[in-house]
Amino acid sequence: MIKIKTIASGSKGNAHIIESENNTILLDAGVAFREIQYAAGFNTAKIDACFVTHRHGDHSNATPMLIKRGIKVYAPKDTADKFNGVIALKAKENLTIGDFKITPFEVPHDVPCFGYLVKAGNEKLLYIVDAEYVPYTFKDITHLMLEANHSRDIVMDRAKEGKLSLKLAERILKTHISIEAAMEFIKKNDMSRVKEIHLLHLSNDNSDAVRFKRKVQEETGAIVYA
């Protein structure tokens, strides 16, 4: 059974502990290492590997300390070029870590960025953050961890009111998944086996967690965390 423990999600940092019956991995490491230590019950030795989506600090900050502690870190090539010791992954190349089979795939962002499909037994977890949209469809997902950073309407309204610069509004719309894009993705994919959905990387100013959660629950009937 896959278990998810979110350490942090948002512009200040992103990191998640994923556990199977016998193994533990991290998805992203964009927080201080001490936060990972605390979340792991001060037993980071149980972490078999970390999979970083891209090089931005809010997803990769703890990478040097993880490597120093002997934890293998995998990421796109340009992230591996940034951090000594990171192992570069190729898109759609499978990697097995104990119970887990991990498949990276490219998503559009302003730097090279991966999403990850994580399989353990008969369960499948899909992890996607920091993307304009998702260019693929998936089957038999049981755990969905999907960015819902903003609402397009909220971003446009705040830009019109002068509360958000046009340059930043454009960047947000082009580099992060909106709730509208998240809903489009959910509707295009078979959600019949989904047990839980985690809406990630919600903006403090440009999102509405209660509304986003309700929309996804009404569409899927799954347990939704936001």
In the chain, the domains with their CATH numbers are 1-93 (3.60.15.10), 132-226 (no CATH)
The pLDDT tens digits of the residues spanning 10-64 come to 989 999 999 999 999 999 999 999 999 999 999 999 999 999 999 999 999 999 9
Q: How far apart are CA 22 and CA 96, in angstroms?
A: 13
Q: How far apart are CA 133 and CA 117, in angstroms?
A: 16
Q: How far apart are CA 43 and CA 94, in angstroms?
A: 27
Q: How many CB atoms lie within 10 A of CB 216?
A: 25
The pLDDT tens digits of the residues spanning 39-49 come to 999 999 999 99
Nearest CA to 101 out of 4, 29, 2 is that of 2
Beta bridge partners of 105: 115
Q: How far apart are CA 124 and CA 189, in angstroms?
A: 13
Residue pointed to by tokens 């990387």: 201
pTM recorded for the entire structure: 0.96
Nearest CA to 48 out of 93, 107, 8, 100 is that of 100
